Amino acid sequence: MRTCLVLLVLAPVLLFSPGPQAGEYEIGELAGLNLIADVPGGWVAGPHKSPLPGMVSMKLTSEDGAESLVTITVMQPTSGASLSPGDREQLENLVSTVAKSMEPQSVEGALKVQRFEHGLVKGAFFSATDKDPPPGEFRYMSQGMGWMQDLAVSFTALSNVDDAVARKVMFQVVGSVRPAGEAQGEARTSADQSGGF
């Protein structure tokens, strides 16, 4: 499952700086916006540091030591321009391509890509179970990409214990990503909607 992490996060070298952060977490400034996210109780947030410009990241780990990890990276288009509907379609296509590449390695075989809308972020995701994860890697993974205003958002939930818990936290935090001072919204997946976006 290492392959899709590199593809969706664009291969930044990410280092974690731990520190208990409950409640609201400042991800960083990007495109003139001070981005924040809410951190659920029982989770610790910390920053990722990336050598690539135009990105800010955060990582969450469970306080109880469970083998779960959630990462969220917000990226500005390299041109600095707005994300067009075509760019948004490319993000969804990238998620589908990565899901397809994971199918031979997954217990599920065919992986379903679903659309979602959570807070200000809309996009697509998939979930997979690794058939035989190497030692030190994760068995369960949910991963996707989306957009918020003119920014792209990449997110991953990894777990060796309970995929549903890590995935729920991933969507809670993704849905809470917003410029400081804006409110968050409710989550919807494609199963909840009669139409598209």
Q: Of the ranges 140-149, 158-167, 187-196, which is most confident?
A: 140-149
**Mean pLDDT across the chain, nearest whole number?**
79
Q: What is the pLDDT of residue 10?
A: 35
* 144 or 11: which leads in pLDDT: 144
194 pLDDT more than 80: no
124 pLDDT more than 50: yes
Q: What is the pLDDT of residue 136?
A: 87
Q: What is the pLDDT of residue 104?
A: 96
Which tens digit of pLDDT belongs to each residue from 56-93? 999 999 888 778 889 999 988 766 566 666 777 888 89
161 pLDDT more than 50: yes
Q: What is the pLDDT of residue 7?
A: 38
Mean pLDDT in residue range 39-66: 84
* 192 or 37: which leads in pLDDT: 37
Which tens digit of pLDDT belongs to each residue from 13-36? 232 333 434 589 999 888 888 999
CATH of segment(s) 2-192: 3.40.1000.10
Q: What is the pLDDT of residue 180?
A: 86
Mean pLDDT in residue range 153-159: 93
Mean pLDDT in residue range 157-176: 89
Distances (CA, A) of 41 to 38, 62, 64, 97, 166: 10, 9, 11, 34, 13
50 pLDDT more than 80: no
